[in-house]
Chain A
């Protein structure tokens, strides 16, 4: 009997579980630090993108397979070690994603009013350790560093009409804070130019069509862009054309009217790198951000930003840094490349570590949408199955699997949350949401999630 452990974030090796005609009889146990599953699908995908979250149904089917077990509320690295897992299982797959973030690396970064996008998104999505972020939304202008989809999510949530947010699974505290928000202008800043922007067209279109807002761009940022579009692949071309249209084209009458009535503004600023966050001398918080002006060397995806020596100060009261997530090392025994912030691997097989695999962002770095990460995980699963078939993975001895791990956890006073426990939490959240017309009202504290929600538990 083969048993293995997968740490469940978004990537999941469901093909291992569902492949019932494979020679070996595979059992998969999933260990997750939080009591609730699904990782970024629950805590990263924006509240106003519920269709993206449909993939939860696929994950749920997998988790409920007879040979798959979920153990939430287990902190691998603290409650149980990788070494202990490797002793209990034939194979261990590390799939714990990228929970750290890249720091900006400039003076003033620690001032009140500067947040990482990871924390800001965690705050509005109910990640327990971001509950007390309490971002100050009393300023008029917010600057977002970075121009990927996460940056656009943050901009959109900051500027969306409250009436549309009210019907989503955004947390109640975030909804209340946004209802009082004074933020009216959001600048989304990138080091390079329009042709290097990292977001995708769906998110850009959502900003262009966001009710109550109008775009504010710098026309000179787009010099030479239209001419460079001729031989560019379709996705980049369509994205750039939409940006050009929004930035440069004179709008039709109806659109002009809509823009005139708009009370909120958003815009891209290109060729700008942060060099310092400026403090308000009277209060210990941010007053603005100093940006270096860049020019581009080279073109296309490989173009480099080079300093010109010019600088620019932008007054603002909120900075959200959205320059990338970063994986952390889980255990010193696991090889870790701290430069790339991934676990070194070939096709998901961890180098110099028999029986150890990795998938998802931990394997390739923190970029990619669901399709990318899904295929990445399927690749790891296939490497694992190849190793089972070829004998590279030693299956000759039976392994105790969850029996021994559960005993260890019990001795250490750790109580795992099962998938059916999660289903009770799920029901409680959905019921609470019904009262206010939301798909769910998320529980925000781990202690709340660990409550006994059985029907006859006296509620």
Chain B
């Protein structure tokens, strides 16, 4: 028993080091806790299952990552949701998004400086945005955990929400999301850095 556990462990390390097992920390599924092959699950399966699971994981994660991202050749016009981000220097950045897109990851995709320190797990308030009045009421009520995190955000307003909890729907077409001016400095030349 102990020997086979040790073999599985060392195989795991070898596979990770030679990159056969993907690096979960960069996958959005893992970050959103939607990954069926997370470590907890892998532990419960036997060694033979681990190998099948690895292959399934490679296909699943790549496939779903593309569709979650939202390809720019979005064929169905009814799927398109127009979003405007207003960055911290007041610049308006219009974005063509898709139904189902997450406001935080959409911002990252378009180089908008919205941080997501806890990776959408309702453990921080760094993705705090203001929602324009016309669309604020169209959003579903925040769950208690979101309200708890919002309470810690600087410059909280009536129309404050956490970007990672906003999923785009057709009736949110035209939504405008303003990034709060939470720092006392912006770039001298109005330059916006790419998020990392």
Contact = CB atoms under 8 A, between A and B. Distances in A.
Interface of A: 14-15, 17-22, 49, 51-52, 54-55, 57-58, 60-62, 65, 200-202, 205, 233-235, 238-239, 347, 369-372, 374-375, 378-379, 382-383, 385-386, 389-390, 427, 431, 434-435, 437, 439, 455
B64 interface: no
A18 B185 CA distance: 17
A51 B9 contact: no
Contacts of A200: 148, 151-152
Contacts of A202: 145, 148-149, 152
A3 to B, nearest CB: 19
A22 B191 CA distance: 9
Chain A to chain B: the 7 pairs with minimum beta-carbon distance, closest first = A235-B151, A382-B185, A51-B121, A51-B123, A55-B117, A54-B119, A19-B193
Contact of A382 (B149, B153, B154, B186): B186
Secondary structure of the A contact surface, majority rule: helix
Given A55-B118, A61-B196, A427-B16, A375 B123 contact: no
Contacts of B152: 200, 202, 235, 369, 371
Contacts of A52: 118, 123-124
B185 A370 contact: no
B101 interface: no
Interface in B116-153: 117-119, 121-126, 128, 145, 147-149, 151-153
Of the four ranges (under 10, 10 to 19, 20 to 34, 35 or more), the interface on chain B belongs to: 35 or more
Contacts of A347: 184-185
A372 B39 CA distance: 32
> Interface centre among A205, A369, A427, A437, by most B CB within 10 Å?
A369
User: For chain B, what secondary structure do more than half of its interface residues adopt (helix, strand, loop), or is it mixed?
Assistant: loop
B165 to A, nearest CB: 14
A385 B191 CA distance: 11
B93 interface: no
Given A235-B152, A431-B9, A437-B43, A386 B123 contact: no
B119 A57 contact: yes
Given A49-B123, A200-B152, A372-B154, A54 B117 contact: yes
A439 B38 CA distance: 11
Contacts, number: 122
A435 B2 CA distance: 10
A287 B161 CA distance: 49
A14 B195 CA distance: 9
Contacts of A234: 151, 156
B188 interface: yes
Interface of B: 5, 9, 12-14, 16-17, 25-26, 31, 39, 43, 115, 117-119, 121-126, 128, 145, 147-149, 151-154, 156, 182-189, 191, 193-196
B9 A434 contact: yes
Given A382-B185, A427-B16, A434-B43, A51 B154 contact: no
Nearest to B184: A379
B10 to A, nearest CB: 9
A455 B17 contact: yes
A371 B153 contact: yes
Nearest to A202: B148
Contacts of A439: 39
Contacts of A57: 25-26, 31, 119
B105 to A, nearest CB: 14
B118 A51 contact: yes
Contact of B185 (A17, A386, A427): A386
Contact of A389 (B26, B149, B188, B193): B188
Nearest to A204: B148
A199 to B, nearest CB: 11
Given A18-B194, A202-B148, A54 B184 contact: no
